[in-house]
Amino acid sequence: MPVTLPKAMLIDLDDTIISYDVGMDLDACWLHALRAHMPAVQDDEAREMVAAIKKRAEWFWSDPERHRIGRQDLVSARQGIISAALTKWDVRDPALARRMAATYGEARDSQVRVFPDALEAIGLFRSKGVRLALITNGSAETQRAKIRRFNLAGLFDHILIEGEVGVGKPEAGIYQLALGKLGVSADEAWMIGDNFEWEIAAPQRLGIKGVWLDHRGAGVPADATVQPFLVIRSWSELMSRVRTD
Ligand SMILES: [Mg+2]
């Protein structure tokens, strides 16, 4: 059964419209940063260091409160992660860790791509009169840079960046702010994105319908307490599932 388009869509940015983790070679970015600033380190040791940094990063970003603070200043967060990981090698140089963090960020940013079918789908929905808001967590500086780079501002009626509005997903206030700006009620809106907590569980508690972008086809988490309104693997799939005539 085709699904009827809603009055409004709230849409996530990272790994929804542009890549951030999906399809990214993060090992290569870390290795690049290590080689740039610690050129004497041998390959085997560099790979061990990368593994340690990634393990520390996984720990760091797994906590919602650390995540909330860290994403406002990625260079500082990554500097801390690198410093903690490299104490095992007796590397205790905050300035070096900071330079590595900056180089890692640049390498990672250079890999970011827009998903072509995202732009096609959003343009289609817009042409059908759907009101659109971009809702993204992170600092104003980093998120605005992505919006400018991929020329996304013109696609949306409103853009809400955590670092600009002072509230982020999964807090209720950010979804309510978006609904208010678009002039719709919760049941008239979809939230579309890849993060199950931020774009499905939290907005659905308010009555917004969650459309989960499950890139890898992992399926709804076994411990999930809610079911998404829709699960899609791509924007192309979403276009095929909605009634647009
Ligand atoms: Mg995302």
The arithmetic mean of pLDDT across residues 22-42, rounded, is: 95
Is residue 70 within 8 Å of 84, Cβ to Cβ? no
pLDDT, tens digit (0-9, with 9 covering 90-100), for 163-201: 999 999 999 999 999 999 999 999 999 999 999 999 999
* Cα 79 to middle of ligand 1, angstroms: 23
The arithmetic mean of pLDDT across residues 211-240, rounded, is: 95
The arithmetic mean of pLDDT across residues 9-13, rounded, is: 98
Instruction: List the structure tokens of 220.
Output: 């709804």
Q: Which of residues 159 and 21 earns the better pLDDT score?
A: 159
Q: Residue 60 above 90 pLDDT? A: yes
* Cα 200 to middle of ligand 1, angstroms: 11
Strand partners, 243: 4
The arithmetic mean of pLDDT across residues 63-67, rounded, is: 97
Is residue 201 within 8 Å of 225, Cβ to Cβ? yes
Please tell me the distance from the alpha carbon of residue 205 to that of residue 74, in angstroms, as a whole number: 29
Burial (0-12, 13-18, 19+ Cβ within 10 Å), 97? buried
* Cα 156 to middle of ligand 1, angstroms: 17
The predicted pLDDT at position 245 comes to: 76
The predicted pLDDT at position 74 comes to: 96
* Cα 103 to middle of ligand 1, angstroms: 23
* Cα 52 to middle of ligand 1, angstroms: 25
The predicted pLDDT at position 109 comes to: 93
* Cα 19 to middle of ligand 1, angstroms: 9
Is residue 82 within 8 Å of 53, Cβ to Cβ? yes
* Cα 15 to middle of ligand 1, angstroms: 5
The predicted pLDDT at position 179 comes to: 98
Q: pLDDT-based confidence at 23, cuts 50/70/90? A: confident
- In SS3 terms, the chain reads as CCEECCCEEEECCECCCECCCCCCCHHHHHHHHHHHHCCCCCHHHHHHHHHHHHHHHHHHHCCHHHHHHHCCCHHHHHHHHHHHHHHHHCCCCHHHHHHHHHHHHHHHHHHCCECHHHHHHHHHHHHCCCEEEEEECCCHHHHHHHHHHCCCHHHCCEEEEHHHHCCCCCCHHHHHHHHHHHCCCHHHEEEEECCHHHHHHHHHHCCCEEEEECCCCCCCCCCCCCCCCEEECCHHHHHHHEECC
pLDDT, tens digit (0-9, with 9 covering 90-100), for 105-148: 999 999 999 998 999 999 999 999 999 999 999 999 999 999 99
Domain boundaries, the chain: 3-21+113-243, 26-111
Domain with residues 3-21+113-243, CATH architecture: 3-Layer(aba) Sandwich (3.40)
Residues with CB under 5 A from ligand 1 (ion): 12, 14-15, 194-195
* Cα 20 to middle of ligand 1, angstroms: 8
Measured on CA atoms in the order 180, 186, 189, 191, is the torsion positive or negative?
Answer: positive
Q: pLDDT-based confidence at 48, cuts 50/70/90? A: very high
* Cα 27 to middle of ligand 1, angstroms: 20
Q: pLDDT-based confidence at 1, cuts 50/70/90? A: confident
Reported pTM: 0.94
* Cα 89 to middle of ligand 1, angstroms: 34
The predicted pLDDT at position 173 comes to: 98
